[in-house]
Structure 1
């Protein structure tokens, strides 16, 4: 596997936005399909890059995945507390799955978190249906933090996001 993880550049934004949107759509993770309001946020890589660090996984000069790394607070943080970094919107193109791309992206986020002064933990939210991602997080040492589970859309009772944390040594 010749996957390079690097900070996304403007030329990566459109393909990464489509990879992210398609990953969520094809995996059935958006309740309303193409009309889901969150889809626009998933496609808005430029907006994420202005508020956090977006990493791209690149193979043969082609973007095959990405993730948003929120080093400490800021507008992109959903659940991070002081001293915590957050991982958001991890997505891998379907054709590149099963080859370690997601793991490489998560590991890159953990390494970045270790470099952030005062950062003691990496946190993330995930949907119940993302079982493959859960296995990845657990294999990398993340543990479930059910006391932090939350609902981004309180008007819809059935959307509770599960949370995980990795304490940095």
Structure 2
């Protein structure tokens, strides 16, 4: 596999935003399709990159996926506490799935978290239906932390996000 994981460049933001939005839509992870408010957040890679580190997986200059790494509870964090990094918005282009790209992106976040002085953990939120992602997290040593499960949209009862954590 000649996949390189590196920080996204501004000329890749639009491509990664579309890959992320399409992945969430195709996998049925958004409640209202193209009208879902979160869809705009998924597409707005420039906003994420201004507040966190956005990583891309590339092969021969083609963006195949990406993830947002938030060190030490930065402004993009949803659930990270002091001394914890957070991983968000993991997505791989549907045509590139099954090649280990998602796992490589998660591993890159783990490496970054371990490199930040004082980090004691890496946390993430995931939807119940993201079974492939759950297997990746568990294979890499993440454990479920049900006491931290949360709902970003309390008016939608069925949108409780599962949380995982990795002790560094």
- Shorter-chain TM-score: what band? over 0.9
- Report the counterpart of residue 102 of structure 1 in structure 2: 102
Instruction: Quote the RMSD (CA, aligned, Å).
Output: 0.5
- Report the counterpart of residue 12 of structure 2 in structure 1: 12
State the SS of the aligned residue for 1:103: helix
- Report the counterpart of residue 114 of structure 2 in structure 1: 114
2: CA distance between counterparts of 1:93 and 1:156? 28
In the TM superposition, residue 45 of structure 1 has moved relative to its aligned partner by 0.2
- What's the CA shift string for 1:15-56, capped at 9, x where partnerless? 000000000000000010000000000000000000000000
In the superposition, the TM-score normalised over structure 1's length comes to 0.99
- Report the counterpart of residue 61 of structure 1 in structure 2: 61
Gaps of 5+ in 1: none
2: CA distance between counterparts of 1:145 and 1:111? 21
In the superposition, the TM-score normalised over structure 2's length comes to 0.99
In the TM superposition, residue 74 of structure 1 has moved relative to its aligned partner by 2.0
1: CA distance between counterparts of 2:153 and 2:75? 17
2: CA distance between counterparts of 1:58 and 1:88? 18
Q: 1:1-169 counterparts in 2 under 5 A? A: 1-168=1-168
State the SS of the aligned residue for 1:154: coil
1: CA distance between counterparts of 2:58 and 2:11? 12
Gaps of 5+ in 2: none
Write out the 4+ residue segments of structure 1 that deviate beyond 6 Å after TM superposition: none
- What's the CA shift string for 1:57-114, capped at 9, x where partnerless? 0011000000000001222000000000000000000011010100100000000000
In the TM superposition, residue 158 of structure 1 has moved relative to its aligned partner by 1.1
